[in-house]
Amino acid sequence: MLALAVLLAGGAVAGCGGRATTHHKPGTSHEQASGSVGTLLTTDDGAGHRLREVPAEGAPEVQLTARPDSEDGWNLQLTVKNFRFTPDSVGGAALPGAGHAHLELDGHKLARLYGPWFHLPAAQVPEGAHTLTVRLYADDHTAWAVAGKPVEGTLQLTAAPGQTGHSHPPASPSAPSSPAPASPSPEAQADRTVTITIREGKVTPAPGRVEVKRGERVALRVTSDRADTLHVHGFDKELALPAGQEATLILTADRTGLFEVETHASDLVLTQLLVR
């Protein structure tokens, strides 16, 4: 009897399908929680994510458009049908018509998207003609597919020489020049600073939890040895991480909960923000 109780307790911890998950929400059926929607194919999207085949009728759809930003780069818009973005349940089971998107430039992943808008900096797009691709994924990171092909949208984008964004006219020679006031450092604008380094796929310090009070401003200071994108779940905050350069993202912890901070390209969890 004792052994049976232990086994039952172990099954409860593991959840449906024997895999631990925090996304089996009240009112969700066992079939939904186990991610059995559609048919899981043996083929993948080219990056190791298996295809999840669904019927064409009612399947997710996506289109991609781009508008030049007056300051820098482009603003991308994803127009979706039969699909909703679910950033709060990424990593959970595959639910019908839900998940996130990946953005690729000429077949190379740039970012993971959790909403219909994304700013693409000019610095990430070399001069010349390119192909942008957005592809839809379920929460369990399988790629939605119809007739054996991933659900995606493409767009041709051309970066002109010297296209670096907004420029300002030179000051008049006759106008007296005065030194610009010094801007406060990002850390000076924050109540808490978290410093993280990424090198050869390893995160320093080791990922843990940072407790902050609701309303505090948090500065995430990250240095990565490869170009990537920082994302804070639940706050829809992203920041480009240039290779070898320190970058800082500041956010106000205006909601309570546990929020993961991760990178898109390398899929690394950097830390967790516990807001009380």
pLDDT tens-place string over residues 78-133:
999 999 999 888 888 899 999 999 999 999 888 889 899 988 888 888 889 999 99
Please give the helix or strand (H or E) that residue 8 lies within, else none: helix 2-14
Q: Report helix, strand or coil for 189.
A: helix
pLDDT tens-place string over residues 56-85:
999 999 999 999 888 888 899 999 999 999
Dist. CA 60–CA 55, nearest whole Å: 10
Is residue 164 scored above 70 in pLDDT?
Answer: no
The type of residue at 174 is: S
pLDDT tens-place string over residues 215-235:
888 988 899 998 999 988 877
**pLDDT of amino acid 162:** 64
Q: What is the CA radius of gyration of the chain?
A: 22
DSSP code of residue 97: T
pTM for the structure as a whole: 0.54
Q: Report yes or no: 133 and 104 within 8 Å, Cβ to Cβ.
A: yes
Characterise 26 by phi-psi region: left (phi > 0), alpha (psi -120 to 50), beta (else). Answer: beta
Distance, C-alpha 30 to centroid of its chain? 27
